[in-house]
Amino acid sequence: IAKSVANVVKALKDIAPGLKVVLHDTEESFENAAYKVNKKLGLSEARAKKDLGGRAFYFGKGDHVIHINLPKTQSNTLFHEGTHPILNVVEELRPGTIDAMFDQLVAIEKAIGEQGKYTEDFASKYGESQRKMEAVTEFIADVADGKVKIDESNLAKIRRFFATLLKSLGINVKSF
């Protein structure tokens, strides 16, 4: 996992300068570190613990540190956390892009036979202001991890989804 972490940091060095990844061997260590970040942001201990309970990861926007809770880590955890800095930049450059991607994700879920998996079930674990970002992030992580079955019936929708992301970064892509 250490090599994978180094690759994520290297890949994101221009988008998120100073990005660090901290691996926590215990849930207690993870929760304590994440709580300290939340405290700096003004969240109460009760709110922080509620928000962090049982998570595998935490990305502190304010400190550019990805905290990984090793006992809870899944195969897509690094993909998920590595996607956050990119989507943060996307939303800064082109506000509304995440909303558009979320709307496309609703149609993709239906096409892949997973209606509500990301936009309802996964998103419900987060506060209202984070739901769309987290749903989009988790879907991208699952695509990167090979968890999303891509076939002829859904390929066009998934291409459009990623074209929206690339266009928001100023990367010209042919229309699909």
Q: What is the pLDDT of residue 59?
A: 63
The mean per-residue pLDDT over the stretch 50-79 comes to: 73
Could you give the CA distance from residue 166 to residue 169 in angstroms, rounded to a whole number? 5
User: How many CA atoms lie within 13 Å of 22's alpha carbon, on the beta-carbon side?
Assistant: 19
The mean per-residue pLDDT over the stretch 38-62 comes to: 63
End-to-end CA distance of the chain: 36
Q: Are strands 65-69 and 57-60 parallel, antiparallel or unpaired?
A: antiparallel
Helices H, strands E: what count in the chain?
Answer: 7, 3
What digits encode the pLDDT tens for the residues 34-44?
Answer: 777 766 666 66
Q: Is the pLDDT of residue 55 over 70?
A: no
Q: In this structure, are residues 34 and 8 in contact, taking their beta carbons and an 8 Å threshold? A: no
21 phi/psi in degrees, rounded to 5? -125, 130
Could you give the CA distance from residue 168 to residue 72 in angstroms, rounded to a whole number? 32
Q: Is the pLDDT of residue 175 over 60?
A: no
Q: What is the pLDDT of residue 49?
A: 61
What digits encode the pLDDT tens for the residues 128-168?
Answer: 889 999 999 999 999 999 999 999 989 999 999 999 999 88
Q: In this structure, are residues 2 and 9 in contact, taking their beta carbons and an 8 Å threshold? A: no
Question: Residue 119 is which amino acid?
Answer: T
Quick count: other Cβ atoms within 10 Å of Cβ 173? 13
Q: What is the pLDDT of residue 60?
A: 60
Could you give the CA distance from residue 84 to residue 48 in angstroms, rounded to a whole number? 19
